[in-house]
Structure 1
Amino acid sequence: MSMEIRPFDAATASERELSEYHLASAAAWRVDFPEEPPAGYEATVGRLRTPWPHEGRCRYWAAYVDGVLVGLGRLALQDGENSGIAQVTVTVHPEYRRRGIGTAVLRAVLPAVRETGRPTVTGEAMKSGSPGDLWAARFGFRAVNRTAIMMLMVDETEPERWDVPVPAGYRLAGWVGTAPEELIEAYAAAREAVQDAPMGESSIQIVRWDAERIRREERELADQGAEERVVVAVHEASGEIAGVTGLLTYAYRPDKSYVNDTSVVRAHRGHGLGRALKAAMTRQVLRERPQVRRIVTSNNEDNVHMIAVNEAIGYQVLRRLIWVETTADGLTGALSR
C-alpha cells in the first residue's frame, strides 16, 4: 500500500478528487450514521467548499492510497470567543480504516495546529462508543458535551402540529436575509438570550451577538448562497423582541434546512413562545420552499425544555452525539508515543 498525505484545496481540486472524496464521505456516513442517508455529490462538495460561518477558516489535508483519495482531515479555526480552539475532523473510507491512515492524517494536521498557538483541540461530534470515539480516546480526547440531533421529517409529520397560536400580548414578524435596521439592536439582544444554554464541559463559547456581528453573519451567509429566514416574537406592550428563531437553507441542498438559533428572552419565558416561533417558521418555509422535506436542529441533552418544544411540533431524535476535546500539548505527546 502506497500512502501519501498532502494539503487539499476544495476550490481547485479535480473532479476525480471530488468524486473520490464524495465516495469516501458517503461510505463513512453509511457506517457511522446509518439512520440517515448520506448527502449526494452536489451537497457534499457544496458543504466542503462552503464552511458554515461559525466554523471559521478551514484548511484540509487529503490521504491518498495508491493514488486514490480515501480520507480527509480538516482544521477549522474560529475567531472571537473561540480563538483559542482548533477543531480537527478526520474522515476515512471504511474500507481503509485500521491501517493507520487516520493517525497519519492527524499527524499531518498537527503542525498547523501548533502554528496557531491555540491550546485546545476539539473533535467533530461522534457517537459514544463508536470506532471514532475509541480512536480519539487513544490520543487523549475526552467527551465534554452531549448533543441530541433532531429532525423534522415533513412527509411523516401531521401538519396540525404546526398550528400553534401566538400567545396573547405578542405578535410575530420576520424577514429573509437582512434584518430591518429599526429592529437590528433588539434582534441582537434577543439572540443574546441563548447565552444560558447548557454546554456541558466544553471549552467552546457561545457567540456574543451585537448589531455589527449580525450584519457580518448576514453578509457571510449571502456570500455562501445560503438563505436565512428569521421569525421573531414582538412583545406588543414594550415593542421589544422577546424571542427569535432562524433557519438556513443552502443552495447546494435545497431539500434540507438547518435551524440556526432559537432563543427566548428570560423575562418572556413560560408563555409558549418557543413552540409558536418554531411552528410559524415551519409553516413559512414549507409554504415558500416546498422542496424542503427535512429540517434539522440540535440541542444539548440537558436542554430538556427545548427538546420537548421540538418534539411537540414533530421533531424526533435522530442520533445522540458526544463532543470531544484535548489540549494541543496532550495531542502532541500522544502522537509522539
Structure 2
Amino acid sequence: MMGRQPTYHGDPVTLDIRPLDPYRADQETLDGYHLMRAAAWAADFPEDPPMTREAAVGRLRTPPVHEGPGRTWTGHLGGRLAGSARVSLPEAPNEGIAWVEVHVHPELRRRGFGTELLRSVLPAVLESGRGTVFGLPMKPDAAAASWVAGLGFDVTHSTVMQLLRTTEVPARGWEVPVPDGYRLVQWTGPTPEELVESYALARRAVNDAPQGRTSYRAPRWTADQIRTEDREVAEAGIEPWVAVAVEEATGQVAGMHVVHHYQHRPAHAFVQDTAVLAAHRGRGLGRAVKAGLMRQLLARRPDLELVFTTTAATNTHMIDINHALGYRTARTMNWVEIPTARLVERLAQPLDERSS
C-alpha cells in the first residue's frame, strides 16, 4: 500500500513489525512492551496510576472477554520497541466489528509509526471479513484525535470515565437500603441456576442506555449466553462480582450490577454492567445494588483502591447515581469507527501524519 514512509530524525525508516505471543515472548520483549505502554499511558492518562509491568503484560494475556479473540504485533526501531497494534474480533452481536488498538511511544509520535502499524494489521482485518473498524476510545483532545480524524474515522459515541477511590468514601456511604419488596442477592462465580433466566433478562436492559451512533451493541443476553460468559470469565482467571435486586413477589431479578476483578490489577476493579428493568425504575434499585456490591467487595478485597466505570456522556441519571456513591468523573472518551473499505482507501493515499 502507498503512503508516506515513517521518519526518524528526518530520515526515512522502516519499522520491524513482528507478531507478539504474550505467553512465549522473552522477558526483554515484554519489558520493552511495558516501557512503551507505561510511557504512553503516563502521557495520555496522567490522572491515573502508573501502568505496572504486571498490568501491561496481564492486559495482553487477559483482555476483557467482550473483546473476543485477538492478535498483537509490535513495531521495533533498532533495538527499541516503538509501538504496538492489536486486532480483536468480538462475537455476536458485534461480529461485523474489528477493534484495532494502536499505541506509539510518546517520544516517537508524529512520525508515521502509528499509521505504519495500522497499515500492517489491515490484512488481518480484511481476512476477518469485518465491515467496520473501531479505534481505541480516546479523549477529544488526545494526540491521536486529529490522526484518526485525518484517516476518516467518525466519532459515534461519547462516554465518561468515572473513578471511585475507596479510601475517600466512609463505610456508611455504602449503607444504602434495598427498597421494600426487594431483596439483595450477591455472588461471585457462576450465576445461580434459579436466577439465570431473569438475570439474563435484566442484563438486556443495558441496551436501554444511550448509545449514540455507535455500531457496537450490548448482547441480547440469554441464559445460555450468561452460562458461556461465566465459563469464559472463569477460564480467563477473571473474578466476577455480581449483585442483583430480586423482587420478593415474583423471585425475578429486577436490577443488576457486575464488576470484574483481574489478577494483574489487584488494587483495581472494573464495572461491566448496571441496569434496572423499566418496570422497576425510579425506586433506587440501581444505587442499592451498586452499594451492596461495594460492601461485599471491600469486605473480601480490603486492598481495593480504585473502581472504574464508564457511562454514556448523556446518561446523566447514572452519572448522578455514581456521584452520590463517591465516584468522580475523570475524563470524557470518544468512540471512533470507520467502514473497513474506506480505511483501505485512506491508507492507500499519502496522509498527513501529524499525530501518528
1:51 aligns with 2:82: no
5 Å-filtered alignment, 1:111-130, equals 111-130=123-142
CA contact (8 A) 2:259 2:271 kept: yes
Q: How far does residue 61 in structure 1 lie from its aligned partner after superposition? A: 1.3
The amino acid of 2:334's aligned partner reads: I
TM-score (norm 1): 0.98
Q: Secondary structure at the match of 2:63?
A: coil
Q: How far does residue 160 in structure 1 lie from its aligned partner after superposition? A: 2.4
Distance in 1 of aligned mates of 2:293 and 2:91: 30
Distance in 1 of aligned mates of 2:143 and 2:287: 37
Q: Secondary structure at the match of 1:334?
A: helix
Q: Which of residues 54, 61, 72 in structure 2 aligns to 1:60?
A: 72
Q: How far does residue 111 in structure 1 lie from its aligned partner after superposition? A: 1.2
Residues 57-111 of structure 1 deviation map (CA, whole Å, 9 limit, x = unaligned): 1011110000221200010101111111111110001011112111110110111
Q: Which of residues 337, 341, 344 in structure 2 aligns to 1:332?
A: 344
Residues 252-278 of structure 1 deviation map (CA, whole Å, 9 limit, x = unaligned): 111101112111011000000000110
Instruction: Please provide the CA RMSD for this pair.
Output: 1.0
The amino acid of 2:235's aligned partner reads: D
Q: Secondary structure at the match of 2:251?
A: coil
CA contact (8 A) 2:238 2:261 kept: yes
The amino acid of 1:306's aligned partner reads: M
5 Å-filtered alignment, 1:1-337, equals 3-337=15-349
CA contact (8 A) 2:137 2:333 kept: yes
Question: Which residue of the partner structure matches residue 354 of structure 2?
Answer: none
CA contact (8 A) 1:121 1:328 kept: yes
Total equivalences in the alignment: 337
Residues 152-177 of structure 1 deviation map (CA, whole Å, 9 limit, x = unaligned): 10112233221111111111011110
> Following TM superposition, where does structure 1 have runs of at least 4 consecutive aligned residues deviating by more than 4 angstroms?
none
Distance in 2 of aligned mates of 1:297 and 1:130: 20
Distance in 2 of aligned mates of 1:4 and 1:336: 20
Q: Secondary structure at the match of 2:137?
A: coil
Distance in 1 of aligned mates of 2:15 and 2:216: 34
The amino acid of 2:102's aligned partner reads: V
Residues 217-250 of structure 1 deviation map (CA, whole Å, 9 limit, x = unaligned): 1111111111111111011112211101111111
Distance in 1 of aligned mates of 2:207 and 2:194: 23
The amino acid of 2:120's aligned partner reads: A
Q: Secondary structure at the match of 1:25?
A: helix
CA contact (8 A) 2:189 2:241 kept: yes
Q: Secondary structure at the match of 2:134?
A: strand
Unaligned 5+ segments in structure 1 are none
Q: How far does residue 129 in structure 1 lie from its aligned partner after superposition? A: 2.5
Q: Greater shift after overlay, 4-13 or 312-321?
A: 4-13
**Same amino acid, percent of matched pairs:** 48
Q: How far does residue 193 in structure 1 lie from its aligned partner after superposition? A: 1.2
CA contact (8 A) 1:2 1:66 kept: no
Distance in 2 of aligned mates of 1:327 and 1:280: 42
CA contact (8 A) 1:9 1:60 kept: yes
Q: How far does residue 2 in structure 1 lie from its aligned partner after superposition? A: 5.5
Q: Secondary structure at the match of 2:93?
A: helix
Distance in 2 of aligned mates of 1:255 and 1:129: 28
The amino acid of 1:280's aligned partner reads: G
Q: Secondary structure at the match of 1:191?
A: helix
Distance in 1 of aligned mates of 2:272 and 2:110: 36
Residues 279-334 of structure 1 deviation map (CA, whole Å, 9 limit, x = unaligned): 11111100111111111111001111111111110001011100000111111111
